[in-house]
């Protein structure tokens, strides 16, 4: 796998899988996952890409490997982590005080209270 953060990147990318937000989209949008699989070269994948863990974005060589992975701690940890919404740019900007923060509209009752 080529360096994903530029040619000068010192970071190892061999084990780099899909990012959390991509996996989150995979889990909630079938088309998103299909597009990822269509972009792969089947001949280069272990077992022609038959055994794939969506949550961990990993391909496995055999059904036995895949099944033992499904029972493993890293997989369960990942499934749990995937239940949360991924951190987004919008959230980051809101935290920094930019953009449109979601503010609760005043209820009818609140507007009745006269501010002193
Ligand atoms: Zn997994």
32-70: per-residue pLDDT in tens? 999 999 998 888 888 888 999 999 999 999 999 999 999
**Over 70: is that where the pLDDT of 100 sits?**
no
Domain that holds residue 37: 19-83
In a domain, 26, yes or no: yes
Centroid of ligand 1 to alpha carbon of 115 (angstroms): 55
Domain of 59: which CATH number? 3.30.160
Centroid of ligand 1 to alpha carbon of 3 (angstroms): 24
Q: Which region holds residue 99: left if phi is over 0, alpha if psi is between -120 and 50, else beta?
A: left
Q: What's the predicted TM-score (pTM) here?
A: 0.66
Centroid of ligand 1 to alpha carbon of 9 (angstroms): 27
Centroid of ligand 1 to alpha carbon of 91 (angstroms): 27
In a domain, 55, yes or no: yes
Q: Is the dihedral of CA 49, 29, 56, 17 positive or negative?
A: positive
pLDDT confidence bin for 89, thresholds 50/70/90: confident
pLDDT recorded at residue 31: 93
In a domain, 72, yes or no: yes
Centroid of ligand 1 to alpha carbon of 54 (angstroms): 7
In a domain, 92, yes or no: no
Compute the distance between CA of residue 85 and CA of residue 69 in angstroms, rounded to an integer: 24
pLDDT recorded at residue 51: 94
Centroid of ligand 1 to alpha carbon of 76 (angstroms): 7
Token representation of residue 112: 């009745």
Sequence-distant (≥ 6) Cβ neighbours of residue 116 within 8 angstroms:
none
Q: How many C-alpha atoms does 106 have within 13 Å on its Cβ side?
A: 7
**Over 50: is that where the pLDDT of 1 sits?**
no
In a domain, 49, yes or no: yes
In a domain, 113, yes or no: no
Centroid of ligand 1 to alpha carbon of 70 (angstroms): 6
Residues with CB in 5 Å of ion ligand 1 = 53, 55-56, 75
In a domain, 38, yes or no: yes
Bigger pLDDT: 9 or 34? Answer: 34
Rounded mean pLDDT of 4-31? Answer: 80
In a domain, 64, yes or no: yes
**Over 60: is that where the pLDDT of 90 sits?**
yes
Q: How many domains does the chain have?
A: 1
């Amino acid at each position: 796998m080529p360096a994903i953060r530029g040619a000068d990147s010192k970071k190892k990318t061999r084990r780099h899988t899909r990012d959390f937000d991509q996996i989150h989209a995979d889990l909630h949008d079938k088309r998103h996952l299909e597009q990822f699989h269509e972009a792969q070269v089947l001949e280069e994948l272990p077992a022609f890409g038959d055994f794939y863990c969506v949550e961990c974005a990993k391909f496995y060589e055999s059904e036995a490997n895949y099944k033992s992975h499904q029972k493993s701690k890293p997989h369960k940890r990942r499934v749990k982590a995937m239940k949360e919404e991924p951190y987004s740019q919008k959230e980051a900007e809101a935290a920094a005080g930019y953009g449109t923060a979601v503010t609760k509209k005043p209820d009818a009752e609140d507007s009745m209270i006269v501010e002193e």
